[in-house]
Structure 1
Amino acid sequence: MHTENNLSDNQKNDLSVINLLASKGKVKILYYLSQNEELNITQIVKLTHLNSTQVNRHLNFFVENQIVKEKRFGRVKIYSLMTNHYRIRLLKTFFTHWK
């Protein structure tokens, strides 16, 4: 059995892709962010039909992994995809063509 320390770089990258798309909730959030330039948490909750705890958890994962960027305006947090990264642009293109 492999542990993360024994995995090759390619296997670690596979794990990160698996983690990125591991749940319907994550995929829904990424989809709606790919279709909108920016969204706040309330908008994401309404679009995805997830609860705010789930949305916050997924968004924190995305921010920590530099998939999504967060802007704050007082207490309001605005989220958008980090489109400067080629993998995120590929993901956005995928969602655009997979409607």
Structure 2
Amino acid sequence: MSIAAALEPFLAKFQSDIPLAPFLYESLLMVMRDTMIRFVKPESLAYVQNNAKIDLQKNENLPAKSVNLGFATKVALNSARGVTEKDVLELDYSF
């Protein structure tokens, strides 16, 4: 839900009859960076320029224990049946 909420302004902006193609690259780049912040280590993103690529197959670029799952996921995990406190603590979600 949090990713959808982040994408909604982008999608609404470009559903227009006004020619917005010149602004598409910059807006899409911002959406990609905002999304990648959730899954890629900050030090891997720090040196990335506009055209650089991050190898998402390398474990050193992906923080397996610090993925930002969002507030709604935390609430859902706390109220889910069959999920132990240990299971929840294994996920090191950052808010």
TM range (shorter): under 0.3
Q: Please identify which structure carries the higher helix content.
A: 1
Q: Normalising by the residue count of structure 1, what TM-score does the alignment of the two structures yield?
A: 0.25
Q: Please identify which structure carries the higher strand content.
A: 1
Q: Normalising by the residue count of structure 2, what TM-score does the alignment of the two structures yield?
A: 0.25
Structure number with bigger Rg: 2
